[in-house]
Amino acid sequence: REVASLYPAVARVMLTGQADKALVVEALNNGLVHRFLEKPCDPLDLKLAVHSAHQAQVEARTLAVGSTRWMSELGVDCALPR
């Protein structure tokens, strides 16, 4: 939760060897992490998880920029988080 609150625009991938299943489910359900992986983790799975998280962030940013432009055209002042 701390990382999500400090860096809300960053996609998070959790890689752990000692997972509390309830904590993992809560993190995924609350959008605190994009993907969860357990050790040992195949390097390709990690690469795909990071790529997927990046793509999700790019898509979210694209939607936010489009929405901001649309709101601006309506005369509504709004700023995107960095």
SS3 44: helix
| Tokens linked to 52 | 């997927």
Q: Are 46 and 37 in contact (CB under 8 A)?
A: yes
Structure tokens at 61: 């940013």
pLDDT per position as a tens digit, 54-80: 998 888 888 877 776 767 777 766 665
Q: Is-above-0.95 flag for pTM?
A: no
Q: Which residues contact 7 (CB under 8 A, 6 or more apart)?
A: none
What is residue 32's predicted lDDT score, i.e. its pLDDT?
81
